[in-house]
Homo-oligomer: A and B are copies of this chain.
Amino acid sequence: MTDANQEHNVRTLHYLGPEGTFTHQAALEAVAELSPLCGGITLQAEPDVTTILNAVQTRGDWGVIAWENNIEGYVVPNLDALIDAADVAAFARVGVDVSFDAFVRSTGAEREDGRKNRDVAANADELVAHCTTITAHPHGLAQCRRFAAEHGLKPTPAASNGAACRDLKPGQVALGPSICGELYGLTRVATAVEDYPGAHTDFLVLAPRGEVPELLNELKSRTGEFESIVTLIPLSTGPGVLANLLDVLRDAGLNMTSFISRPIKGRGGTYSFIATMDAAPWQERFRTALTEVAEHGDWVKTLAVYPRQERPNPPVYAWSLPNGGVRLDPDSETSATLSASGWQNETTTRKELLW
């Protein structure tokens, strides 16, 4: 942070580079949402998450890290890093749709088109017809197989989607987030070319731990409900440790929306638990539960507190259950099972459950 930045309270937000990745897109989301909290935000690309956490801890800057993807689950190395970071906490959560646009590098008029707007070029089919290869990170290539096959393009892996777009050569199609069009002056030839739509990644925005209460006070004046992510480490192991821990959260009326265990690094057989819940540290139910857990001698750390996004809370209907599996209907005389072949009688059910 320069002196000039400090004067105007401009913050630096560090993200995992290179430019033109989905993380960059998330950082731009964060800028749009959080700029009102300060005098503006400047972005800085970093080579790895360790560098981002260090910038937050030692320079008092902000950082953004990938947290959870609806297909791949948690970004576990980032989760472990945040658990282990001494003076960092998250105060915002932003999401981006993992949707790929297809780009080519062309000259003259088409290029100007691509820079000016987010539309697909008028002569897109013709431009793609001149290409023979398609380039992206292997994950990107795997998610857009149909588009490659339809256009007879040979997959060519790149180190990242951002790098694929940046280094795009004539005769190649690159896949990347929509921001790559303007960023690298590319011509858009198709949008949302992923085989299965709906992938989504959430990111956490980090600040020095001591600054977070103040930031949350600002946010409280704009938003209603908050969510928190806490880590819990029981100081003993064995049957019932987790159940006893969760009884405390239940008895305090805390609703959890995500819960996972993680082995503690280098300590085989020991675990931490990471819970996301509908509560904030200034609420009585949060304080009661976490103080009780800590007084049991278990280890507790609040990783994140942020404004909660809208979400549904429906009952689970039988039709949404996966294939196979067993359910004994308590409201019915005849217990039954859901299986590939339909409802079966209780004898079969118990056999399937217990073998």
B314 touches A212 (CB 8 A): no
In chain A, positions 225-253 with a C-beta closer than 8 Å to chain B are 231, 233-240, 242-244, 246-247, 249-250, 253
Smallest CB separation, A239 vs chain B (Å):
4
**In the complex, what distance in Å separates the CA atom of A350 from the CA atom of B281?**
11
B255 touches A250 (CB 8 A): no
Cβ-based interface call for A74 (8 A)? yes
Q: Which of B254, B264, B290 contacts A316 (CB 8 A)?
A: B264
B86 touches A76 (CB 8 A): no
Residue interface mask A285-329, B partner, CB < 8 A = 1: 011001100111111111001000001111110001111111111
Cβ-based interface call for A84 (8 A)? yes
Residues of B within 8 A of A262 (CB): 73
Smallest CB separation, A86 vs chain B (Å):
4
Smallest CB separation, A48 vs chain B (Å):
9
B281 touches A301 (CB 8 A): no
* Contact-residue size bin, chain A (C-beta under 8 Å from the other chain): 35 or more
Smallest CB separation, A275 vs chain B (Å):
9
Once A157-B159, A160-B138, A327-B298 are accepted as A-B contacts, the answer to whether A239 and B253 lie under 8 Å apart by CB is yes
Q: Which of B286, B296, B301 contacts A325 (CB 8 A)?
A: B301
A-side residues, CB < 8 A to B, are: 70-74, 76-77, 79, 83-87, 137-138, 141, 155, 157-160, 209, 212-213, 216, 231, 233-240, 242-244, 246-247, 249-250, 253-264, 266-273, 281-282, 286-287, 290-291, 294-302, 305, 311-316, 320-331, 335, 338-340, 349-350, 353-355
Which 8 A-B residue pairings sit nearest by Cβ, starting from the closest?
A301-B325, A73-B76, A243-B250, A86-B340, A240-B250, A86-B323, A243-B246, A260-B260
Apart from A73-B74, A242-B246, what are 4 other A-B pairs with CB-CB below 8 Å?
A: A72-B77, A236-B316, A239-B253, A294-B327
